[in-house]
Chains A and B, each alone.
Chain A
């Protein structure tokens, strides 16, 4: 039981490049989330998926797209990376719409130069 896994762990991009961050969970959770963590600002919600086939914007969605590929996988895509997207990205999952506990992946450190 691996929990929530994320790939890659580290990534460096040039401005304008695109990339996809992958997230998978093996806990049969319905809900999945993408957060970014910046110094002094805590974690902020980018997008979330309450169930397979649905996605919704969070607090800071601009510059990102997501895909809930199936119940296990939830990817985050940067179409044209900008230095302001330099951050640590966390994926999380939760059992149901009303579940109070979210389980986090190990994070991806992304640097955009």
Chain B
């Protein structure tokens, strides 16, 4: 079974600064996806960024980028130029693709990020 660990329950950052959220995972699989989801106070789960394990290049989406270290089983999220709207709970998640039984997500515990003005 896969496990995902986020060791930072809470973090804060000043507006316009950069912050990095940590995530580690444990799996014996070689082919999988990793994700960061954002959950603002509205409770809606929003996909921020994804990384395919077979790709060496780190994924980037505008101000969001990841540092994927496959050997170390580490997957951190960097948010540049933080904005007040980035205040949310952030979840790291793992997915192994099952060919016959569906693709299931395993989530970490979450990191509450607060962006201060």
Contact = CB atoms under 8 A, between A and B. Distances in A.
Interface residues of B, number: 27
- Say which size band chain A's interface belongs to: 20 to 34
B101 A56 contact: yes
A104 B105 contact: no
Nearest to A58: B104
Given A42-B108, A43-B91, A100-B95, A50 B50 contact: no
B97 A44 contact: no
A78 B45 CA distance: 23
Interface string A21-60: 0000000000101010000111111001110000010100
Interface string B64-107: 00000000000000000000000000010001011111111111
Given A42-B109, A43-B91, A90-B45, A100 B101 contact: no
Nearest to B109: A42
15 contacts: A40-B9, A40-B110, A42-B91, A43-B91, A45-B104, A50-B100, A50-B102, A56-B102, A98-B99, A99-B103, A100-B50, A100-B97, A102-B105, A106-B43, A106-B44
Q: Which 7 A-B pairs have the closest CB atoms?
A: A50-B102, A42-B107, A104-B45, A43-B107, A100-B33, A107-B43, A42-B109
Given A33-B105, A97-B100, A100-B35, 18 more contacts: A31-B103, A33-B102, A40-B110, A42-B4, A42-B107, A42-B108, A43-B91, A44-B107, A49-B102, A56-B101, A56-B102, A58-B104, A92-B45, A97-B97, A97-B103, A100-B50, A102-B103, A106-B44
Interface of B: 4, 9, 33, 35, 42-45, 47, 50, 52, 91, 95, 97-110
